[in-house]
Amino acid sequence: MANTRRAKTMKGKGKPAAKTGAAKPVKAQRRAATKRMVFAFEAGRADGNAGMKALLGGKGANLAEMAALGLPVPPGFTISTEVCTYFDTHQRRYPAGLEAEVQKQLGRMEKNLGRRFGDAKNPLLVSVRSGARASMPGMMDTILNLGLNDQTVQGLIAQSGNPRFAYDCYRRFVQMYGDIVLGLKPESKTEIDPFEAIIERKKHERGVRLDSELSADDLRELVGEFKAAIRERRGVAFPEDPYKQLWGAIGAVFGSWMNDRAIAYRKMNNIPESWGTAVNVQAMVFGNRGNDSGTGVAFTRDPATGENVFYGEFLMNAQGEDVVAGIRTPLPIADLERENPKIYGQLAKIRRTLERHYREMMDIEFTIEQGRLYMLQCRVGKRTGAAAIRIAVDMVRERLIKPAEGLLRVEPEQLNQLLRPTFVAAEKERAVRDQRLLTRGLNAGPGAATGRIAFHAEDAEAAAARGERVILVRIETSPEDIRGMAAAQGILTARGGMTSHAALVARQMGKVCVAGCDALLIDYAAGQMRVTGTDVALKDGDSISIDGTSGEVFLGEIATEPSEVVRVLVDRSLDPKHAPGYQLYDQLMKWADRERRLKVRANADQPDQCANAIAFGAEGVGLCRTEHMFFGEEKIGPMREMILAGTLEERRAALAKLLPLQRQDFEGIFREMGGRPVTIRTIDPPLHEFLPHAAAEQEALAHEMGIPVERIRERIEALHEFNPMLGFRGCRLGIIFPEITEMQARAIFEAAANVVKSGKAAEPEVMIPLVGHVKELQLQADIVRRVANEVMKEKRVRLKYAVGTMIEVPRGALTADAIAGVAEFFSFGTNDLTQTTLGVSRDDAARFLLPYVRDFEIYDKDPFESIDQEGVGGLMRTAVQKGRGVRPQLKIGICGEHGGDPQSVMFCDRIGLNYVSCSPFRVPIARLAAAHAALGVGADSGTKD
Amino acid sequence: MANTRRAKTMKGKGKPAAKTGAAKPVKAQRRAATKRMVFAFEAGRADGNAGMKALLGGKGANLAEMAALGLPVPPGFTISTEVCTYFDTHQRRYPAGLEAEVQKQLGRMEKNLGRRFGDAKNPLLVSVRSGARASMPGMMDTILNLGLNDQTVQGLIAQSGNPRFAYDCYRRFVQMYGDIVLGLKPESKTEIDPFEAIIERKKHERGVRLDSELSADDLRELVGEFKAAIRERRGVAFPEDPYKQLWGAIGAVFGSWMNDRAIAYRKMNNIPESWGTAVNVQAMVFGNRGNDSGTGVAFTRDPATGENVFYGEFLMNAQGEDVVAGIRTPLPIADLERENPKIYGQLAKIRRTLERHYREMMDIEFTIEQGRLYMLQCRVGKRTGAAAIRIAVDMVRERLIKPAEGLLRVEPEQLNQLLRPTFVAAEKERAVRDQRLLTRGLNAGPGAATGRIAFHAEDAEAAAARGERVILVRIETSPEDIRGMAAAQGILTARGGMTSHAALVARQMGKVCVAGCDALLIDYAAGQMRVTGTDVALKDGDSISIDGTSGEVFLGEIATEPSEVVRVLVDRSLDPKHAPGYQLYDQLMKWADRERRLKVRANADQPDQCANAIAFGAEGVGLCRTEHMFFGEEKIGPMREMILAGTLEERRAALAKLLPLQRQDFEGIFREMGGRPVTIRTIDPPLHEFLPHAAAEQEALAHEMGIPVERIRERIEALHEFNPMLGFRGCRLGIIFPEITEMQARAIFEAAANVVKSGKAAEPEVMIPLVGHVKELQLQADIVRRVANEVMKEKRVRLKYAVGTMIEVPRGALTADAIAGVAEFFSFGTNDLTQTTLGVSRDDAARFLLPYVRDFEIYDKDPFESIDQEGVGGLMRTAVQKGRGVRPQLKIGICGEHGGDPQSVMFCDRIGLNYVSCSPFRVPIARLAAAHAALGVGADSGTKD
């Protein structure tokens, strides 16, 4: 990641490193370095460089890089991660020769600094820190001031002329060492830290309140009492020999790689155990040696906004831990310019050097010791989505990086932060303070929403019609609820996963959604919802707020605000000229579109969704689900008539009513899409989804249709399925009831003809779902093509259209060669393909899939969020190969939810798809992910094992 | 199939045909014969032979074969099927040169018989008959007596001296020709045949009742009236020119290949359109030329029993159609010996000749014309299962065929007829006569059963305990019903397909089952069942009878009887010495076992099922479903406790109660299986299947367990799944609740240890279900192996065991290489693999899968009955290759229902499986199918397209 072209090696003494060295892959580096276990660094020279993170860990590699750049890094050395691996697999023994190496490096440090390790007069003190390849903040151990004992502390007193400082260093060292290396820790959760207990007792004895009020003598006594406690409780003596201290510390740091905390963290973050940690041994510098000393942390730009300002804070006469402890409040870095212009000037120069060198926003730690500046750490700085974009765009404009590099500086998922409404920050903080956080669910549809509870879709609609904001709260949602979902600000469900009906539809609509919120006990009959583990009982009409980005559910209202990008693109309430954040987004997207190979389409069922899709940059509709249209107020009636029809004639009569309504929908979509391709899927869900489930609704429908309610109930009973996912749906409907496909094809082509005759373009692609056998597709394609010809003849117009299929059951993928003989395009329905390939129902998977990923690491990620590349992905590759083998120009896309997942988008690029299609609000994310893919990101990733 | 070594060719004039000619495959023959369109035959000589069915059709090929054998075949010729194909694809035109060929052959016939076609004095009359490669009885057209007109009829009168006979021939010819060639047919369903109407009018005029009472003059008049009707209603003149007649007839026969009836028949019987039909033109012989004439049909052995006797019937002074019309009753063939010993002697000799020649039981047609015998047809005779076995075994004993050929003479499925109880034939006939046939369902579990209706499993048990025979009638069954199913004589369900729960369990138990009987409207609350379209309403306790071989459901009782084989092997109520049918079965099975490569195991869950399995020849248990055990009276309680447990401790306590019960079950199975391998699957179904669904039962359970019923209801609600097939089941249960797997492993290994310590052998194979990712298997295998080691240590015994997995989701097959790294065996669960690969729930598929096979020919066969070789089979091949690539000795079997389907068994042999496993009652079928596979049957079959 970092540019190491200007790094200098220890051997080369200031000569630039050979380019090849920096570019060598880790394995080759490892091989070349097998004999070297210890890597030295000091200002101006280093054995390592920033490219050697695998071997030196992040901290060690960047220390080497900074040292080679000539920055004021205290001298030290890094023991490689390979030693850690050796240590772990050889009963905590070290490779032969390590001790001699360490000895040699200590000698070099002694020479460099003119101090000696263990010397009673002018002792060299060191820190021992872990540093793994990936950042594991707070997970591993650090020991400072190592080398102190009853003799050397006298030397430190002599050096510093400050006994209190020296004894404070000493007692801190004994305390850390006693804890980390010798294991003197609280024995139960209720016990306080034994060292802190001794300090408290001492302060009590002395009648003081603050540590800083303890005298040098008090601190000296503390050292003795600490050692006594260690001996007494751990049965070991504190080692006075600095070499013993050092090896104890090195062993503890290597050992910490395998402690429970570290193992748990690695699991959560997918960090392989085999990586190991490095150990950094470095000369101590002290920020607490008087008022000309100090310590600080800084970012080379503002990590929250990305603004190109030096951003950070510092504290004089303090050590890093004082800053963390929060006893004194650090000052903004700008104040340093006033307090110490020389040091600030040095720092500002280092800031420039690092940004030029790394061409990145860096996060640094520094210490000032008696007026001298030392650099202790540097790494790439974490940032918000907004900052990431601003930094990337600015750095391109500053010519630090190329646009392509700028693109790689923004994680596709970070764009989400730019698109979603959020709670007004202060209001949310207040809600948390007021303990209004009720529970958490799955963050299924990002953004923030607030409103009154509605338990029924109709109530939500009615309330919205009255101008109220509502949150639709359901055990789970079904297609019946769609209009209620559209009317609501957000959706909250007690059941269902990240790709449940609620989650899928919410994301497509751009609605906020918290799904699978187990703690909710919803009682529709009582119009009430309880929250397990609390006394809270909420009624219909009560206010709640949900955060679909975090999954949080709050009691009461919390004010929200739409994002700037949305105000420009969707609401059109903001002039782009006055939207600097939008302009940055727009610039980044332009670069992304220049790089990417994949086309990006949107899943959209209605003209308004199409408008959003285009605003977000969609190049077509990849999935128009015709069934969603059937839930429109005027359409559900004829649809139900169609389903309840007893004869072909009755069914045809109902379909005849639906035809003009569908035609109108399609016409609206074609006009909105302005000639971009529109993939329309013929009816897919099982018919029972369209019938009412509540007795009252059934009776109303019976009354409306003038038929006995028994007929409706019997039909619903007859349509009941054990596994509707694998039931009478998809093309199976169109094959048994060809008149439905015929009506839909007619609506599509008549709509297209009307648009074309009005002088506009329309390009329908008719997609047949759930095809497992080429004959299924053939039967349906025959109908579609026949109707297309009929309409073209009737309307005297020539239409450009295609007929293709979803690949969403394994048999479709396995026989893709035969299917490509009929299909003009494929679209992977990876939701269903994942369900069938894995044999997992996404609606029922929560009970085991979460532990599968979190506890058992069976899958790296939820396969419904990111494509299971080994299993499902293998079938996709097969389908692409077989399909293109028969029809080389076959257009292939994906229209499952995975189309909006960056890793999946990259996979789709890698296997040669033509486009991805996702919900409108994820189109920008897919565009950026596609650009990343074209730039080679993820090319070596794949299955973990 | 037929031995043609002694066939003589036309060219060779009596010399034996070259061996190579007869052995040439069809394609080569086709190529060699491209120029020849017409194939002559006459007694002693033929251009064709029995091996040329593709080109000559079955009838033509066998006529040639008989002619070449020197049998008295009237001379004639066959126009090949290639001409039919040409005709169909060239607007009903003929290839150049055909007319000259036909002319030439007519000339040969004229010369042979000394008659001339169209000659007014001594006319040659011919029949024109279709004859396709496969028998299509009654589907295509035949015209007799062609060549008659107002002139030639005079010649026939002169020849026969019988004007009435001659005019009767003439009027029959005009009638057939008018119908078939000129299209004078009834115009509506209510209209009677126009020719019959004229005859009726004539009889009315003459005041007679029977056709035979009409005089020669009457018949002559009829001819005129027929011709007038044709002219009037079809607008064409009846052709007097015999050549015109002939070409009209040839065109009509070729054209009949594409008529609606024939197309429908081909669809139903999977006969490709491309085969075409041949046309056979043959000199007429008349069985109705006086008392020294006659006609008959015969089988060379008894087609019902297989007994080696000449079996058939004949009628003197009659034509074939008279026999069919049923006006006169034919006599048994034995009577012919008395009536006409000379002819009988000739026929008996021909019977021997044909059996020696074809080495098969043949079906023949013959005509006697004025004391001379003519052979008109011969083909392989259809027979019952019992007859097939007897004929096969007898022919081997007679040294007509080798044992391997004997095996091929019995269709595996035919064995079923030997195993199933049947209705006493006369009783069933009476029931049909009395119109007690209520409706039909799917023939899901063959055999016949009779008893009183029980709508609930408990009622069935109670009734059985009282000694009553019951039929369990359910909308559908669930695992809860297992004990009721076991207690019942048979199971009848209103829903579910051939592999529904009811069907699967019934077949495994060897129970009679009629499933998916749509017409039944079952009202549990009322304890009543209605039959749609009838007034019948049956109550609990009313008697019904079901035929699981035909799918029929009857009102009232019909007596049944077990089969002889079952009485010997299962009931042990019959001494094999007194069971000749059993002895034949036994002989055939011995030959089968000698040939086959595949091992055959049984799916068995209980010791008694194991005993049956061994009786039927199983070599191990391929699938022991442990969950079925949990439904035992004493086990369901602790099982429910386990599921309802709120904590790990409660769950462990319940499991501790289950452990000894499971151990006892396994011990019984191991002892019964006597060291044969037993594959035990860990728990598989979703837990909700074990909980009671009826409110009363839930309350009873709550009372019993001393917990509130709400807790049970909540748990059932929490366990509800949208798609249980894809839900929380299989190894997912064992991963989330490892203590269940642990208990089951302990029960298995403790049972095995007990058996081994008692000096017997036990070989458990522990099978983990529903594995999609190798890590799932690894987690479960680790538990199983750990427990095995613990038990071996505790019991101080060494156990031979293996751990393997089901391959039943596509991901398992796709990653079989990784999985084989852990699994010691694979077993294909093709039921679930079919569901997931096709995305079809077998319980919900009836609505579309039946039309898919029957109407749309999407699949050749129901993929749940016979493996979908292209889709599911493709995945199986992949899994075998990948698995054996990693572990060459990997043992692979199949334990889905397909393991008992002959075509699937052959497929399993072809892809290299080690064994198949099926329900005990299908083991003999699988053994024979495996022998067929080893003998190369089905080797060239596969996907149709």
E strands present in B494-644:
512-515, 520-523, 528-531, 537-539, 543-547, 552-555, 560-561, 599-603, 621-625
Cβ of B815 within 8 Å of Cβ of A870? The answer is yes
Average confidence (pLDDT) over B180-204: 88
Strands B437-440, B552-555: parallel, antiparallel or unpaired by DSSP? antiparallel
Residues in chain B: 945
The answer to whether the CB of B743 falls within 8 A of the CB of B658 is yes
pLDDT of residue A545: 96
Cβ of B857 within 8 Å of Cβ of A775? The answer is yes
Q: Among A330-344, A503-517, B218-232, which stretch is predicted with the lowest mean pLDDT?
A: A503-517
pLDDT of residue B384: 78
Nearest CA-CA distance, residue A53 and chain B, Å: 30
The answer to whether the CB of A827 falls within 8 A of the CB of A895 is yes
Q: Among A233-247, A458-472, A694-708, B61-75, which stretch is predicted with the lowest mean pLDDT?
A: A694-708
Cβ of B840 within 8 Å of Cβ of A726? The answer is yes
pLDDT of residue B138: 61
Average confidence (pLDDT) over B331-357: 94
What tokens does B784 get?
């199983």
Nearest CA-CA distance, residue A501 and chain B, Å: 12
> B86-113: per-residue pLDDT in tens?
999 999 999 999 999 999 999 999 999 9
Q: What is the dihedral of CA A385, A390, A395, A398, to 10 degrees?
A: 180
Mapped onto helix, strand or coil, the DSSP state of residue B869 is coil
- Among B211-220, B453-462, B814-823, B851-860, which range has the highest average pLDDT? B814-823
E strands present in B228-304:
277-283, 294-299
What tokens does B176 get?
């057939």
Average confidence (pLDDT) over A299-304: 89
Q: What value does the mean pLDDT of chain A take? A: 89
Average confidence (pLDDT) over A803-824: 98
* DSSP-assigned states of every residue in A626-646: HHHHTTSHHHHHHHHHHHH-S
Phi, psi angle pair for A449, to nearest 5°: -145, 150
Query: Which is more confident, B900 or A717?
Result: B900
Closest CA in chain B for residue A876: B814
Mapped onto helix, strand or coil, the DSSP state of residue B43 is coil
In this prediction, residue A3 has a pLDDT band, given cuts at 50, 70 and 90, of: very low
Q: How distant, in Å, are the alpha carbons of A273, A793, B922 from that of A779?
A: 54, 22, 37
Query: Which is more confident, B38 or B33?
Result: B38
B868/B845 Cα distance (integer angstroms):
15
The answer to whether the CB of A384 falls within 8 A of the CB of A304 is yes
Mapped onto helix, strand or coil, the DSSP state of residue B564 is helix
pLDDT of residue B878 exceeding 90 = yes
A338/A348 Cα distance (integer angstroms):
13
Cβ of A814 within 8 Å of Cβ of B875? The answer is yes
Phi, psi angle pair for B853, to nearest 5°: -85, -45
Cβ of A839 within 8 Å of Cβ of B770? The answer is yes
pLDDT of residue A935 exceeding 90 = yes
- Cβ-Cβ contacts under 8 Å between A and B: the total is 172
- Which of the residues B822, B835, B837, B943 would you substitute to probe the A interface, choosing the one with the greatest number of A C-beta atoms within 10 Å? B837
In this prediction, residue A442 has a pLDDT band, given cuts at 50, 70 and 90, of: confident
B553/B533 Cα distance (integer angstroms):
14
A46/A11 Cα distance (integer angstroms):
8
pLDDT of residue A820 exceeding 80 = yes
Nearest CA-CA distance, residue A543 and chain B, Å: 27
Q: Among B355-364, B562-571, B592-601, B870-879, which stretch is predicted with the lowest mean pLDDT?
A: B562-571
Closest CA in chain B for residue A737: B848
Find the DSSP H helices in B398-478.
403-408, 416-419, 425-433, 457-465
Nearest CA-CA distance, residue B212 and chain A, Å: 50
Query: Which is more confident, B419 or B195?
Result: B195
Helix B163-180 vs helix B194-206: crossing angle, to nearest 10:
150
ipTM value: 0.80
Average confidence (pLDDT) over B324-349: 84
> B464-489: per-residue pLDDT in tens?
888 899 999 999 888 778 788 888 99
Place of tokens 């080389």: A888
Known catalytic residues of B? Answer: 501, 895
Average confidence (pLDDT) over A814-840: 97
pLDDT of residue A938: 73
Q: What percent of chain B has pLDDT over 90?
A: 67
Cβ of B725 within 8 Å of Cβ of A723? The answer is yes
Average confidence (pLDDT) over A164-186: 93
Cβ of A725 within 8 Å of Cβ of B726? The answer is yes
pLDDT of residue B140: 66
Average confidence (pLDDT) over B136-160: 88
The answer to whether the CB of A804 falls within 8 A of the CB of A890 is no
Which amino acid is it at A556? G
Helix (H) or strand (E) holding A531: strand A528-531
Query: Which is more confident, B665 or B28?
Result: B665
- Which of the residues B819, B844, B886 would you substitute to probe the A interface, choosing the one with the greatest number of A C-beta atoms within 10 Å? B844
Average confidence (pLDDT) over B682-702: 88
* DSSP-assigned states of every residue in A381-427: PP--HHHHHHHHHHHHHTTSS-HHHHHHTS-GGGGHHHHS-EE-HHH
Specify the pTM: 0.81
Nearest alpha-carbon partner for B366 in B614, B72, B80: B72
What tokens does B9 get?
């060719």
- How distant is the alpha carbon of residue A151 from its chain centre? 52
Nearest CA-CA distance, residue A849 and chain B, Å: 9
A175/A144 Cα distance (integer angstroms):
10
The answer to whether the CB of A548 falls within 8 A of the CB of A432 is no
The vertex-B638 CA angle with B634 and B642, nearest 5°, equals 155
Q: Among A350-364, A485-499, A818-832, which stretch is predicted with the lowest mean pLDDT?
A: A485-499
E strands present in B300-402:
311-316, 331-332, 362-369, 372-380
* DSSP-assigned states of every residue in B44-82: TEES--GGGHHHHHHHHHHHHHHHHTT--PPPEEEE-HH
> What order do you get walking across the sheet with A362-369 strand by strand?
A331-332, A311-316, A294-299, A362-369, A372-380
The answer to whether the CB of A194 falls within 8 A of the CB of A229 is yes
In this prediction, residue B15 has a pLDDT band, given cuts at 50, 70 and 90, of: very low
pLDDT of residue A675 exceeding 50 = yes
In this prediction, residue B945 has a pLDDT band, given cuts at 50, 70 and 90, of: very low
A885-891 contacts at long range (C-beta below 8 A, 24 or more positions apart): A885/A817, A885/A820, A886/A817, A886/A818, A886/A820, A886/A821, A887/A820, A887/A821, A887/A823, A887/A824, A890/A820, A890/A823, A890/A824, A890/A825, A890/A826, A891/A802, A891/A804, A891/A824, A891/A825, A891/A826, A891/A915
What tokens does B614 get?
């061994």
What tokens does A810 get?
């394994």
Known catalytic residues of A? Answer: 501, 895
Sort out which chain A residues have CB atoms less than 8 A from B840's CB and list them: 726, 772
Nearest CA-CA distance, residue B770 and chain A, Å: 8
- How distant is the alpha carbon of residue A594 from its chain centre? 25
Closest CA in chain A for residue B878: A814
Q: What percent of chain B has pLDDT over 70?
A: 93
B715-722 contacts at long range (C-beta below 8 A, 24 or more positions apart): B715/B643, B715/B644, B715/B691, B716/B688, B716/B691, B719/B643, B719/B686, B719/B687, B719/B688, B719/B691, B720/B688, B721/A841, B721/A843, B721/A844, B721/B686, B721/B688, B722/A724, B722/A725, B722/A841, B722/A843, B722/A844
pLDDT of residue A328 exceeding 80 = no
What tokens does A675 get?
């000639």
Q: What percent of chain A has pLDDT over 90?
A: 67
Q: Among A918-927, B268-277, B764-773, which stretch is predicted with the lowest mean pLDDT?
A: B268-277
First to last CA, chain A: 25
Place of tokens 């206010």: A543
Q: Among A3-12, A880-889, B38-47, which stretch is predicted with the lowest mean pLDDT?
A: A3-12
Average confidence (pLDDT) over A627-646: 83
pLDDT of residue A945 exceeding 60 = no
- How distant is the alpha carbon of residue A9 from its chain centre? 36
In this prediction, residue B24 has a pLDDT band, given cuts at 50, 70 and 90, of: very low
Cβ of B844 within 8 Å of Cβ of A722? The answer is yes
pLDDT of residue B74 exceeding 50 = yes
pLDDT of residue A449 exceeding 90 = yes
> A243-281: per-residue pLDDT in tens?
999 999 999 999 989 887 788 777 766 788 889 999 999
- Which of the residues B737, B814, B852, B859 would you substitute to probe the A interface, choosing the one with the greatest number of A C-beta atoms within 10 Å? B814
Cβ-in-10-Å burial (0-12, 13-18, 19+) of B111 comes to: exposed
pLDDT of residue B617 exceeding 60 = yes
pLDDT of residue B212: 82
Strands A802-807, B802-807: parallel, antiparallel or unpaired by DSSP? unpaired
A231/A223 Cα distance (integer angstroms):
12
pLDDT of residue A7 exceeding 90 = no
pLDDT of residue A508: 66
Sort out which chain B residues have CB atoms less than 8 A from A736's CB and list them: 847-848, 851
Mapped onto helix, strand or coil, the DSSP state of residue B260 is helix
Cβ of A858 within 8 Å of Cβ of B726? The answer is no
What tokens does B32 get?
């060699």
pLDDT of residue B766: 98
Nearest alpha-carbon partner for A547 in A555, A539, A538: A555
Q: What value does the mean pLDDT of chain B take? A: 89
Residue environment code for A638-653, b if the CB has 16+ CB neighbours within 10 A, otherwise e: bbbbbbbbeeeeebee
B190/B829 Cα distance (integer angstroms):
54
Helix B872-886 vs helix B830-838: crossing angle, to nearest 10:
120
Cβ of A841 within 8 Å of Cβ of B721? The answer is yes
pLDDT of residue B693: 81
In this prediction, residue A939 has a pLDDT band, given cuts at 50, 70 and 90, of: low
**Nearest CB to B835 within list A726, A774, A844:** A726
pLDDT of residue A585: 96
> B196-222: per-residue pLDDT in tens?
999 999 999 999 988 888 999 999 999
